[in-house]
């Protein structure tokens, strides 16, 4: 059973202009070079919720303080797709939403807590921001855009210089 995800109409002309500018940056994405499939699949960690979506418009790293706060990380990576192309194929009854602001809603699995996607019908009408790590073939995509860099953590640009390990180092 497929459930189509929809957003409430609540468009402010100022936010429509912002969404229009973002959409210009988002399309067209050179995803055809990266993925040849017409659809992408994803799920939460426990497997209760499965979704399908069409080709992404863009892969985005968001450095805003809201994403940092609701996700507990320095920045969030999203695959942006048209909301009309995003469908929950299984587990809609396990999907929960959290109104992070009066216009941004984070959707997650009620069982395992995996964040799946966000919508913001005011600023980004018609778009779904899918959490990058929930896609089955996320390793075939890479970010093409950083947004809200004015609030980016100072150390993010130096990640390549931090001591790195293939896996967690052993203590002792």
Residue 165 included in any domain: no
pLDDT score at 71? 87
Residue 48 included in any domain: yes
Residue 67 included in any domain: no
Compare 114 and 71 and report the one with higher pLDDT.
Answer: 114
Compare 138 and 22 and report the one with higher pLDDT.
Answer: 138
CA 160, chain centre distance (Å): 23
Residue 44 included in any domain: yes
Residue 69 included in any domain: no
Could you tell me the residue range of the domain that residue 20 belongs to? Answer: 3-58+77-142
pLDDT score at 165? 86
Residue 72 included in any domain: no
Compare 2 and 45 and report the one with higher pLDDT.
Answer: 45
pLDDT score at 23? 52
Give which of 54, 9, 3, 52 is closest to 32, Cα–Cα.
Answer: 54
CATH number of the domain to which 47 belongs: 2.170.150.70
Angle (CA) 150-156-158 rounded to 5° is 130
Q: How confident is the model at residue 97 (pLDDT cuts 50, 70, 90)?
A: very high
pLDDT score at 159? 87
pLDDT score at 38? 56
pLDDT higher than threshold 80 for residue 172: no
Q: How many domains, the chain?
A: 1
| 3-class secondary-structure state, position 82 | strand
Residue 105 included in any domain: yes
Q: What is the DSSP letter of 113?
A: -
Asked whether the beta carbons of 127 and 11 are under 8 A apart, the reply is: no
Task: Say what the pTM is.
Answer: 0.77
Residue 129 included in any domain: yes
pLDDT score at 44? 98
**Mean of pLDDT values over 73-94:** 95
Tell me the two tokens of residue 7. Answer: 């957003």
Q: Among 9-18, 21-30, 55-64, which is the least confidently predicted range? A: 9-18
């Amino acid at each position: 059973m497929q459930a189509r995800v929809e957003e409430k109409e609540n468009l402010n002309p100022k936010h429509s202009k912002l969404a229009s500018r973002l959409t210009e940056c988002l399309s067209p994405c050179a995803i055809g070079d990266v993925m040849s499939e017409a659809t992408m699949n994803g799920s939460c960690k426990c497997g209760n919720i499965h979704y399908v979506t069409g080709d992404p418009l863009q892969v985005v790293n968001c450095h805003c303080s809201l994403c940092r706060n609701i996700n507990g990380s320095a920045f969030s990576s999203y695959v942006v797709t048209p909301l009309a192309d995003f469908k929950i194929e299984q587990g809609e009854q396990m999907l929960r939403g959290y109104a992070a602001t009066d216009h941004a809603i984070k959707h997650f699995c009620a069982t395992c807590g995996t964040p799946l996607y966000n919508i913001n019908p005011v600023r980004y009408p018609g778009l779904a921001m899918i959490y990058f790590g929930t896609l089955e073939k996320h390793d075939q995509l890479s970010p093409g855009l950083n947004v809200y860099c004015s609030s980016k953590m100072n150390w993010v640009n130096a990640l390549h210089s931090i001591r790195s390990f293939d896996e967690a180092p052993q203590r002792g």
